[in-house]
Amino acid sequence: MMQAHRQEVFDFTLRYIFALSIIAILSLLAYFNLSYLIGRQAQFAKIINISGRQRMLSQQIALFSIYYKTKALKKAKNEMAKNHRFITTLPDLPESVQRIFFNAPYFLDKRVKQYIQNAEIFLSTRGGKNLTYILTNAQPLQEELNKAVFAFQKESERLTEEIESKERMILLLTFLTLFAEALFIFRPINRKFRERSRALSQEKQYADTITESAPAAIIVIDDALGVRRFNRHAEKIFGYSKSQMIGKNSLYNIIPPQYRQGHDKGVKDFFATGKLKHETRPLEMEAMRKNGDIFPIRISFGASSIESGSRIVVANIIDITKEREQERKMQQQSRIAALGEMIGNIAHQWRQPLSSIRTVASGIKVRKKAGFITDEEIIKGVEKINEYTEYLSDTIDDFRNFFREDRKPVSFEIDQVIAKTVSLTEASFKHNHIETAIIKEDRSFRHCGYPNELAQVILNLFNNSKSILLERKVEEKFVLVSLFKEGGTIIIEVCDSAKGVPEEIIMKIFDPYFTTRHKAQGTGMGLYMSKQIVEQHFHGLLTVQNRTFTYNGKSYKGACFRIELPEKEC
């Protein structure tokens, strides 16, 4: 009996050691597999980040070249060259990426080197040929760099799927081993094992919701409004540690006061209904760092239910400070381009008053010498000159106000913005025999936003119509502005009689740096910035289509730009 018991204990010990050995081996395999995955993901994340930066650097080189910012240009050129050497000399560069860099039809390696070489020559010589090369190739180069980034991402996804497949196999073997152990070894503690397994499974569901190495801040909150997860990137962006954020209502640390009421309502509504209000699209708003700085973010939401029946909300947050700065620079570039048009408008606005002043002054002088003028006539002449000079002064104020940057949203009348913008271009349009008309519904069109930015959009559309009407030498040159409402949406339409946009390019006209005019006549930024302003600053929509429209019984065919703005009060 004793010998049998000892044999049984020995057999149990052998089975126990064997089972633990298998678990240990599988755990080591899982550990090394996961370590390899994390290492490769980190490497790919660095490469993708550098590749993505190459796109921005290519645009910065073009921008700095335009403004002759030599120090910034040199820095951007050197960084782009350094990044390119790093990427192209990687020992295990994926084959798909190699084809983009070194094979037809892309030859991206050669194109990047030529782009950098032209930037270097331009730094030394200020050569117009090199500047033309840079501006011509900036956008195409960015598109090819996008393909390289996409290829890196695809390779990273493929590697991740391959390693995850191995991880699933290891996990399956682990479960089978555990099942065998539960049947033959650990049956006495089976109940405790199940309870512990459920707890681990719930924690795993929480852990699977976020990825610690994600290149964005990921914050998870539960139905008690407590922060459950706060990843490393969130620590980096906001300046708080996990220990400072994990807990109830700690989100107030990073939410500016003006957003807290909306945040509380949105979260409570979700936990009550299970539906997220903004699940389908990202939002752009502001957040607050630990040091009190307010900065812009883009945030998207996701939701999930966990095993206990509770719900969690996942917020994915990206710091868009640099993106906003780049947008501001591009908007400034667009404003500078519009300034050239405005100078021409000033010339047309001033021509008639200046001519009248000269006529009145000359008349007074001649009649005074001849002795045929009374003091009363001199006074009337001087008053007339004063009227003209006051008109010139008012014109300068109008143009100066047009380029004044809006600092905060205000309540304004849309029809007044349209009328003011049309008046600024009226003389130039008349000089070029272009008729304009405004039709609107008899109601108020108030909006909360940035009136000067909306004026810039309308001016860009007017300048675009004027250019194409003159370029095509249309006989009946006409621009119609329509203002009306559709439900809760304010609609502004600017239609011209220039026969429309060719179908092969109509999808490209809102792309940055795309223009059908010569580079000396257009930068390709006007329509791009107009779309950015409408959709990002006004949360509206800017589209274009070719169609036939009627005014005063006459039909015209041309491009119609449609601005859709949601009704909004300050």
**Planar angle of CA 245, 203, 264, nearest 5 degrees:** 40
The mean pLDDT of 67-75, rounded to a whole number, is 84
pLDDT in tens, 425-476: 787 788 889 999 999 987 878 888 888 888 888 888 998 898 899 999 998 9
pLDDT at position 414, please?
92
Sign of CA dihedral 228, 231, 234, 235: positive
Name all contacts of 82-90 with Cβ < 8 Å and 24+ positions apart: 83/50, 83/51, 83/53, 83/54, 83/57, 84/54, 84/109, 84/112, 84/113, 84/116, 86/50, 87/47, 87/50, 87/51, 87/54, 87/148, 90/47
Domain 2-185 has CATH 1.20.120: yes
The mean pLDDT of 399-418, rounded to a whole number, is 74
For the chain, the average pLDDT equals 77
pLDDT at position 522, please?
44
CB 290 within 8 Å of CB 194: no
CB 141 within 8 Å of CB 58: yes
pLDDT at residue 184 is higher than 70: no
User: Which of the two residues, 185 and 78, has the higher pLDDT score?
Assistant: 78
User: Which of the two residues, 159 and 334, has the higher pLDDT score?
Assistant: 159
In angstroms, what CA-CA distances link 511 with 130, 514, 531, 542? 23, 6, 9, 13
| CA atoms within a 13 Å half-sphere pointing along the CA-CB vector of 509 | 24
pTM: 0.42
User: How far apart, in whole angstroms, are the C-alpha atoms of residue 324 and residue 292?
Assistant: 19
The mean pLDDT of 500-525, rounded to a whole number, is 67
pLDDT at position 400, please?
61
Which CATH code of 3.30.565.10, 3.30.70.20, 2.40.50.140, 3.90.1150.10 fits the domain covering 325-566? Answer: 3.30.565.10
pLDDT band at 68; cut points 50, 70, 90: confident
CATH topology of domain 208-319: Beta-Lactamase (3.30.450)
The mean pLDDT of 363-383, rounded to a whole number, is 77
The order of strands in the sheet holding 541-551 is 435-440, 478-486, 489-496, 554-566, 541-551
Non-local (6+) Cβ contacts of 441 within 8 A are 483, 484, 485
pLDDT at residue 382 is higher than 90: no
User: How far apart, in whole angstroms, are the C-alpha atoms of residue 523 and residue 498?
Assistant: 21
pLDDT band at 520; cut points 50, 70, 90: very low
pLDDT in tens, 258-282: 877 877 777 777 777 767 665 556 7
pLDDT band at 210; cut points 50, 70, 90: very low
Q: What residues are paired with 548 via a beta bridge?
A: 557
pLDDT at position 530, please?
83
| Residue 113 φ then ψ, to 5° | -65, -40
Among 488, 493, 492, residue whose Cα is nearest residue 568: 488
pLDDT at position 392, please?
66
pLDDT at residue 41 is higher than 80: no
For 536, which DSSP code? Answer: I
- Characterise 314 by phi-psi region: left (phi > 0), alpha (psi -120 to 50), beta (else): beta
**How much of the chain, in percent, has pLDDT values that exceed 70?**
75
Do 2-185 and 325-566 fold alike per CATH?
A: no
Among 524, 521, 518, residue whose Cα is nearest residue 62: 524
| Range list of β-strands (E), 199-355 | 217-222, 226-230, 247-248, 283-288, 294-305, 311-319
Domain boundaries, the chain: 2-185, 208-319, 325-566
Sign of CA dihedral 221, 222, 226, 231: negative
Residue 457 belongs to what H/E stretch? helix 451-471
32-36, 261-265, 460-464, 544-548: lowest mean pLDDT where? 32-36
User: How far apart, in whole angstroms, are the C-alpha atoms of residue 213 and residue 253?
Assistant: 23
Residue 530 belongs to what H/E stretch? helix 526-532
Among 522, 524, 560, 569, residue whose Cα is nearest residue 542: 560
Query: Highest mean pLDDT: which of 119-123, 490-494, 532-536?
Result: 490-494
pLDDT at residue 306 is higher than 80: no
Structure tokens at 318: 């990206």
CB atoms within 10 A of CB 513: 19
**Planar angle of CA 523, 525, 530, nearest 5 degrees:** 150
pLDDT at residue 85 is higher than 60: yes
CB 483 within 8 Å of CB 414: yes
**How much of the chain, in percent, has pLDDT values that exceed 90?**
11
User: How far apart, in whole angstroms, are the C-alpha atoms of residue 477 and residue 305?
Assistant: 61
Sign of CA dihedral 524, 525, 527, 528: positive
DSSP 29-46: HHHHHHHHHHHHHHHHHH
